[in-house]
Amino acid sequence: MKSPRLIEEKILQVLNAWKDLTPDKSYGGLTLAQFEARFQPSFDTRRQAAQIENQLGEAIDLRADADEVSLDTIQLIVNGVVGDPTEGPDSPVYERMGYKRKSERKTGLTRKKKSGGAKE
């Protein structure tokens, strides 16, 4: 099946050729007006799809804005847990929020292995 874009181009190509060159002639038992009426649903649904795509784009932008507010609020709450004297960065609530407790973090200290295979 051809893509919708190619189908639309073909419809317009036939329509424009007919309009420009022989607008008073009938082909396939159809007048130019009948031809245009028969293909109008194709144009109507394309216009409707374009409107829906625009609405979707707007909704995605609104969602991104709302998510930004949500993430800022989450950071505020997490900072509150870390700063709370009864909770802090080593508390179970901090861990359940998806963060690694301070006592479970690696120190970052690494020791390089000596080359040569001989242990000292």
pLDDT at 14: 94
**pTM of the complete model:** 0.62
Write the DSSP symbol of residue 114. P
The set of residues, in sequence order, having a beta carbon less than 8 Å from that of 60 and lying 6+ positions away, is none
Report the distance separating Cα 103 and Cα 89, nearest Å: 9
Q: What are 30's strand-pairing partners?
A: 27
Q: What string of pLDDT tens digits covers the 120 residues of the chain?
A: 689 899 999 999 999 999 999 999 999 999 999 999 999 999 999 999 999 999 999 999 999 999 999 999 999 999 999 999 999 999 999 999 999 988 887 777 777 888 765 555
The residue behind tokens 């007006």 is: 33
**CA angle in degrees (0–180, nearest 5) for 28-31-32:** 110
The set of residues, in sequence order, having a beta carbon less than 8 Å from that of 19 and lying 6+ positions away, is 32
